[in-house]
A = this chain, B = another copy of it.
Amino acid sequence: MTAKKILFIVLDGISDRPCPALRGGTPLSAARKPVLDKLAAEGICGVMDTIAPGIRPGSDTAHLALLGYDPYKYYTGRGPLECVGTGIDMKAGMIGFRCNYATLSPEGKVIDRRAGRIHDTEALSKAIQEGVDLSKFGVEFIFRSGAGHRAALALEGEGLSHCVSSNDPKKEGVAPLTVKVLRTGEKEDKTAAVCNEFVKQSTKILFDHPINQARVEQDLAPANIVLMRGAGEMGDFEPFQKKYELSGSVISAASLITGIGKAVGLPHVEVPGITGSQNSNISGKVAAAIRELETKDFVLMNIKGADESGHDGLADQKKAFIEKIDPLLEPLLGLQDTIIIITGDHSTPVCIKDHSADPVPVLIRGEGVRMDDIVRYDEFSCAKGGLGRIRGVDLLPIALDLVNKSHKFGA
């Protein structure tokens, strides 16, 4: 009678605005998607502001909200989650940055913000980790390579702040910026000085490094400066399992999402062939989710392809992706004992080519749900559903109530 498990499927960027190319429909409303519609028909639907009405969510803040961690409390910048994604063990209070390896010309101008899309930067990062010394500030650091030209920097020490700017000029042909304070304060002064010292020392190390000397000789852009941005303070995340008394896993190809999972203590399940793109192994993901639910209470699965089409402004491609994945979701129809939630993290309208604040459709299907009369999973239909209009941070508490894991407030 009462479900025991929760399967939380985030169709990344799924929702949209009316598209003239689809005669005023959205990719989701125009798509043929009998499985999603059946799940909607068997459940209760609504729309959701992942953060709040009119606030455009990032994927990071959105997923924090969906996991019940208020991003206004836990999120100060993307850096710390990028650090987690590269494998750095971030502790509450550490300051994290997203970094790029970039190319500085002999005249001191940033001429390639991605250093010729260099990959395999492990040796460079090791040289920085071993060569840079911030001990005069009483600060320790961890610097790690990420995918391709990406990297992450974490600072640990007394009296640091995330309220500092970036050295990234955000365009090419100009000098890198000096990291500045974003508000007056001793911590900010110290952190900016630490950052500028880090850039100075690491640039020296990179200029002299044999890998870069070889790249110059091969006419490749050397990775001779680190651009850092997205400063944030690592939040004091109460572990998911403790907070909700639920064991869980994350299934996603996106390192940002698996990083968020890791930050709250949710392990990542490896699935072969998942890409975070149109060609991902969705069947493998669905099978993995169903398998995980045999032993876990909660699975968060992110399916990314629709977001990509939204960013690229391709309405037909977005619709086609939805039609492609819909039959692959069919195994969900047989799931018993499980609250299935299907929603988005944000809209990615093809007319915007970026995230928007338009609310996302949400359906909840499973034992004990008060079914409404909505039979289609799309932006227009769900807006008439029995759930009404809710917020992202409310969704997990609603699911916990349905699986009888809520605690009464009061008596």
Within 8 A of B (CB), among A353-411: 354-358, 368-372, 379-380, 383-384, 386-391, 394-401, 404, 406-411
**In-complex Cβ contact of A352 among B61, B388, B404, B411 (8 A):** B404
Complex partner residue of A56 from B358, B387, B409, CB under 8 angstroms: B409
The reply to whether A410 and B57 form a contact with Cβ atoms under 8 Å apart is yes
Q: Is B368's CB under 8 angstroms from A349's CB?
A: yes
Least CB distance from A358 to B in Å reads 7
How many copies of this chain does the complex contain? 2
Do A357 and B56 touch across chains, with their CB atoms under 8 A apart? no
User: Across the interface, do A53 and B383 meet the contact criterion of CB distance under 8 Å?
Assistant: no
Question: B residues within 8 A CB of A399?
Answer: 54
Q: Are A358 and B62 in contact (CB under 8 A)?
A: no
Contacts of A371 in B (CB 8 A): 18, 24, 380
Do B396 and A18 touch (CB < 8 A)? no
Cβ of A351 within 8 Å of any chain B Cβ, yes or no, is: yes
B411 & A58 in contact (Cβ 8 Å cutoff)? yes
- By the criterion CB–CB under 8 Å, are B388 and A383 in contact? yes
Chain B residues near A56: list those with CB within 8 A: 401, 406-409
Q: By the criterion CB–CB under 8 Å, are B60 and A410 in contact?
A: yes
CA distance A388 to B387 in the complex (A): 9
A406 vs B2: C-alpha distance in the bound complex, in angstroms? Answer: 41
Q: Is the CB of B401 within 8 A of A357?
A: yes
Whether a CB of chain B sits under 8 angstroms from the CB of A92 is no
Instruction: Establish whether residues B53 and A411, one from each chain, have CB atoms under 8 Å apart when the complex forms.
Output: no
Measured CA separation A349–B404 after assembly (Å): 11
CB distance from A71 to the nearest CB of B (A): 7
Interface residues of A in 21-77 (CB under 8 A from B): 24, 26, 47, 51-62, 71, 75
Residues of B within 8 A of A406 (CB): 54-56, 356-357
Bound CA span A410–B18, Å: 25
Query: Given the complex, which residues of B lie within 8 Å of A17, measured CB to CB?
Result: 368-370
Which residues from chain B contact A383 at a C-beta distance below 8 Å? 370, 372, 386-388
